[in-house]
Amino acid sequence: MAVVQTRNLTKVFKEGHLGAVNNVSFETREGEFLVFLGPSGSGKTTLLRMIAGLETPTSGDILIGGQVVNHLSPRDRRIAMVFQSYALYPHLSVYKNIAFPLKAQKVPKDQHRQKVEWAAGLLGIGALLERKPRELSGGERQRVALARAIVREPAVFLLDEPLSNLDAKLRASAREELERFHRSVGTTSIYVTHDQVEAMAMGDRILVLNKGVVHQLGSPTAVYDDPADTFVATFLGSPPMNLAELNEVIVGFRPEHFLPSVNVTGETVPLRFKVENTEYLGSEWIVSGTLVGGKLDSKKVVSRLPNAQHLQLGGVYDFVVPTRTLKFFDRTSQKRVAAKDVTWQ
Amino acid sequence: MAITSAPVKSVGASQSPFLSTAMFAPAVLYILLLVGGPFLLAIFYAFSDARIGNTELHYVGLENFRSILQSPSFRIAIRNSLIFTIGSQIVVIVSANILAIALESAFRGRGFIRFLILLPWVAPISLGAIGWKWLLDSIYSVISWVLVALHFFKPFSAPMWLGEPQLAIASVLLVHSWRIIPFSTVILLAGRTAIPKDIPEAAAVDGAGFWRTQLQIVIPMMRPILSVAVLFGLIFTFTDMTVVYILTAGGPFDSTQTLPSLAFTMGIQGSDLAAGAAISLFLVPLLVILAYFMLRLARRAEVS
């Protein structure tokens, strides 16, 4: 096991263009499950590929286990990677796929069978060893890819959107399986995804990236409850946080904190809310509309409620936001600032 | 969309049964007249004593085959056909793989290099062979001149590339390879680019170096397309007589004759049509085997 660290890591693909990864510095914890989260084009995959050694950094350092590995080839970094497509070798059986890293690393031949069976057993694919990848389902392929990654007991696991090729139902169970798998092997893992639900569910910590820049590194609760800037505030959470420019700051509140006034006690900000659309999602309702009166007149906002049956389209209701849930951001830098007194009316 | 249970019919076929026949006819006619006819004629001649300039024809049974099998030139021709075909394919596959690997990665002027490599394939084979005849000429050879200038040989003592049996065989083999390499390179390049980039990358992360990745992952994955390249190369070389005919005309002393060139030498130049026909019939069993494999490949490509 090992800690992965980057120092001012930058990757510029075309000279003169904006870098895909810009000055990224972070450090994993021992045995941690770290998630790189960002929209497509945010540089998260490039960052992972640099750590894997598949991409050469333009500047900066990568350290694995305290040792600079910039000049090392992928094979010498003691990493294992699971690709989005799984990248199984189509002409080899499952057994030979899993044994390939052992062969490549020149592990004595008499240990192969035992190690392959151990890895296959860990992932419950012991019965599939003689099959070819094309005879496997999506979930089974993913497990083979994981088994191939685990078999030589790497110091670090790198996973590049390994769930994105699975259908929604399979994805939930595969996610759970991955979590269980990580708990049982305890290897430091870096997981790339654009799916905030995956990131929140699986990550010990989340590194939020956009345009090659780190916006925040923190636990799921930290990035959700204490977003460092407006990007993090709106990228995490569905529907995203309501943001409104008020005086010299941007004020934000989450849809689940924007509630009918009767439901809330304590210090609140009262707002008039005109309901324009409701969506029933089974366990909750998404209500969108505009504010009425005050400085934020006709500002579009969204509310998330357990029940919205009593709300009429076109009706205007008294809603509130608990004061302690308000987030404040600087108008120019978009960065989080301390709570301020603002006038709403 | 409405879903009907009626089987889908192809529009052309249902409208006019003659159309499909008409579309097929030129190809069928071409094959019957220009391939089938001469082939039957060859079988017919092979059992006769047909000669150019002689209007009489007698059935002689297996006499032609008996005399051919006893002829040393024929045995050399069979041996050479196999050496040229198999030997050049080995050279071709190794070189084409190296070229495909080199041309895969992006570099300045790649388009131009690709064009240069493709040239031997685009140029008419006879022109290419004439070019090589000059390069390998006993007096004017550029290759000899360079080797002399580099002091590998004394002036006027450079090897006769086409004049000594061993060297002539090697020369013909290499010109055959030169001819097929571009074709194989293009096919292998296509096969290589069809492999998802993830796979060699996964191999790199798994700890495989260049050779292991190539030999155990990439080349096995290219097997279907590789066999297409090899089969085409085998057939092109096996049936070709232009290269031998232009470079050495089968000489010195029939040492570079192949089945097609020997058939031509004996049947047309030597006026012994019957012998020529009988020799060319020996091509048939080998070509049938190759055709079988090609059809199997084509079928598999259709299925998948």
**Chain B within 8 Å of A14 (Cβ-Cβ)?**
no
Per-residue pLDDT reduced to its tens digit, A53-72: 999 999 999 999 989 999 99
Judged on CB neighbours under 10 Å (0-12, 13-18, 19+), B130 is middle
Which residue of A lies nearest to B196 if distances are taken between CA atoms?
A87
Per-residue pLDDT, averaged over A235-254, amounts to: 90
Which residues in chain B touch residue A103, judged by CB atoms under 8 angstroms apart? 212
pTM score over 0.80: no
Sign of the alpha-carbon torsion through A51, A53, A55, A56: positive
Q: So what's the pLDDT on residue B17? A: 80
Q: What is the mean pLDDT of residues A313-332?
A: 92
Paired tokens of B44: 């017919």
pLDDT at position A278, please? 93
On the question of pLDDT at A219 being above 90, the answer is: yes
Q: Which domains does chain A have, with CATH numbers?
A: 4-225 (3.40.50.300), 239-337 (2.40.50.140)
Confidence at residue B3, expressed as pLDDT on a 0 to 100 scale: 46
**Per-residue pLDDT, B302:** 61
Residue-level pLDDT at A210: 93
What does the DSSP 8-state code read for residue A180?
H
The secondary structure of A112-145 as a DSSP string is HHHHHHHHHHHTT-GGGTTS-GGGS-HHHHHHHH
Higher pLDDT, A1 or A343: A343
Most A CBs within 10 Å, among B199, B206, B225, to test the A interface: B206
Q: Which parts of chain B have pLDDT scores under 50?
A: 1-9, 12-13
In chain B, which residues have their Cβ closer than 8 Å to the Cβ of A115? none
pLDDT score, position B303: 57
Whether chain B has a CB inside 8 Å of the CB on A282: the answer is no
B93-B96-B102 Cα angle (round to 5): 140
Contact A60, A24 (CB under 8 A): yes
Mean pLDDT over residues A130-139, rounded? 90
Q: Which of residues 183-212 of B touch A (CB under 8 A)?
A: 196, 198-199, 201-209, 212
Instruction: Give me the total of CB pairs closer than 8 Å, taking one residue from chain A and one from chain B.
Output: 59
User: What is the helix (H) or strand (E) element at residue A254, kind and residue range?
Assistant: none
Q: Residue B2: its pLDDT value, please?
A: 45
A13 CB near a chain B CB, below 8 Å?
no
Contact B204 A73 (CB under 8 A): yes
CATH of the structural domain B73-270+278-303, one choice from 3.40.50.980, 3.60.20.30, 1.10.3720.10, 3.40.50.2000: 1.10.3720.10
Phi, psi of A72 (to 5 degrees): -85, 145
What is the rounded CA–CA span in Å between residue B154 and residue B147? 9
Assign 3-class secondary structure to B177-188.
HHHHHHHHHHHH
Q: How confident is residue A272, by pLDDT bands cut at 50, 70 and 90? A: very high
Where along chain B do its domains lie? 73-270+278-303
ipTM above 0.90? Answer: no
